[in-house]
Chain A
Amino acid sequence: GQNIDQPTEMTATEGAIVQINCTYQTSGFNGLFWYQQHAGEAPTFLSYNVLDGLEEKGRFSSFLSRSKGYSYLLLKELQMKDSASYLCAVKEAGNNRKLIWGLGTSLAVNP
């Protein structure tokens, strides 16, 4: 079956580093996306990985291991505004453009 697992909640301190993990089991793989969603708002795109390795974008980095069905999002120099839900989504292989979504990880950044 298709399944994406993320921790439900995480807490971190302002200025620290946090790693949010995502493991997946899907019918084929054609890329993994990370989105950020603040409460009551729409998700916004953060990063995309299709090959193994680390993609860095400023304070945010995302890692992928296709053989392990594993990804993580790394947030550095945490700020209060980083308090949000972080969604992992996997694109299935094939012609359909559907994404399989995880339930999201709610991150609370404390002062």
Chain B
Amino acid sequence: DGGITQSPKYLFRKEGQNVTLSCEQNLNHDAMYWYRQDPGQGLRLIYYSQIVNDFQKGDIAEGYSVSREKKESFPLTVTSAQKNPTAFYLCASSTNRGGEPQHFGDGTRLSIL
């Protein structure tokens, strides 16, 4: 079955540490996205990529970095510059056709130790 896999499901970070969240899709989608969701809040876009080797900042990119070296993979690094990283992180992908929805992975919940 095709889908989006995020790992790990739960992640703990120490102060001053960088961590990388994995996102892999086998849907052959060109576009991939990273969102952050805080309790009681909507989805906020961190970074997105419409094609391999290209990505754009979303609304809250500070303290995060991404790469898109392969179509299937869009890892997100939460750097030590992100002062409030505790959140639920969601990865999504979509085709570039107009009415196609974004499909989401199961998410990674990041907490600070």
Residues facing B in A6-55 (CB within 8 A) are 30-31, 33, 35, 40-45, 48, 50
- Shortest distance in angstroms between A28's beta carbon and chain B's nearest beta carbon? 13
Contact partner of A50 (CB less than 8 A), chosen from B41, B90, B99, B107, is: B99
Residues facing A in B63-113 (CB within 8 A) are 88, 90, 94, 96, 98-99, 101-107
Contact partner of B58 (CB less than 8 A), chosen from A33, A40, A98, is: A98
Contact indicator A97/B50 (Cβ below 8 Å):
yes
Q: How many A-B residue pairs have CB under 8 A?
A: 50
Contact indicator A42/B106 (Cβ below 8 Å):
yes
In angstroms, Cα B104 to Cα A31, docked, is: 19
- Shortest distance in angstroms between B34's beta carbon and chain A's nearest beta carbon? 12
Contact indicator A87/B104 (Cβ below 8 Å):
no
- A67 at interface, CB cutoff 8 A: no
Q: How large is the interface on A (under 10, 10 to 19, 20 to 34, 35 or more residues)?
A: 20 to 34
Contact indicator A48/B106 (Cβ below 8 Å):
no
- A107 at interface, CB cutoff 8 A: no
Residues facing B in A41-100 (CB within 8 A) are 41-45, 48, 50, 87, 89, 91, 96-99
3 nearest A-B pairs in the assembled complex, by CB-CB distance: A42-B104, A45-B101, A103-B42
B interface list, Cβ under 8 A from A: 31, 40-45, 48, 50, 56, 58, 88, 90, 94, 96, 98-99, 101-107
